[in-house]
Amino acid sequence: MADQTNQDQASEPVVTSTPATNAATQTEKPAAAPAAKKEKAPTVESKPFVEFMEQDYLPALQKAIAAEGVQDLQLAFAKQKFPISGLTSSSEECWQVIGSWRNGQRRFNVYFPDEDIQGKKGFSCNEGGKPSTLESFLIDERKITLEMLVSRLVYRLNGQKWLGRN
């Protein structure tokens, strides 16, 4: 039996630890888990609705429309009824961005009935009287950003031929 035990020990490979093998085994260890992702700073769009509109959207819109050559733009943000001709006076109030220039002759409204920039939005404009049409605004977009709200409104007003050299 002693011979059997010696043979078993002899057939097993002997592993010795050398500095070279220690370095190899250390480099073969699985990489440490990546550091936890840094949390992104909250976006301006994640601010409360009224705060975002007053602190971010109105100033950005003022600047963008002024860059198109409109000098006397008046912007307001208010909760009021839809000013559309033909709507009953009992219509609900909603938040609106109200813009006008040329002594109030050119007016537009952007409506936010859900009090959320990601929710439903509407648009109306008129030259002189009350608007008669309420259009949907930015309905196909998945995520609304400040830049998108500004640029698409400027684009829409330019389509009306109200900006620049139109």
Token look-up 């198109």 returns 68
SS3 (DSSP) at 148: helix
For the segment 59-109, what is each residue's pLDDT rounded down to a tens digit?
A: 999 999 988 888 888 999 999 887 776 665 556 788 999 998 888 788 999
Contacts by 64-70 with C-beta closer than 8 Å and gap 24+?
Answer: 64/150, 64/151, 64/154, 65/99, 65/154, 65/157, 65/163, 68/154, 68/157, 68/158, 68/163, 68/164, 69/163, 69/164, 69/165, 70/101, 70/163
Mean pLDDT of all residues in 21-37: 57
pLDDT at 29 over 70: no
Nearest-CA neighbor of 111 among 133, 90, 88?
133
pLDDT at 13 over 60: no
What is the DSSP code (8-state) at residue 16? -
The per-residue pLDDT for 16 is 53
The per-residue pLDDT for 12 is 56
pTM for the model: 0.68
pLDDT at 134 over 80: no
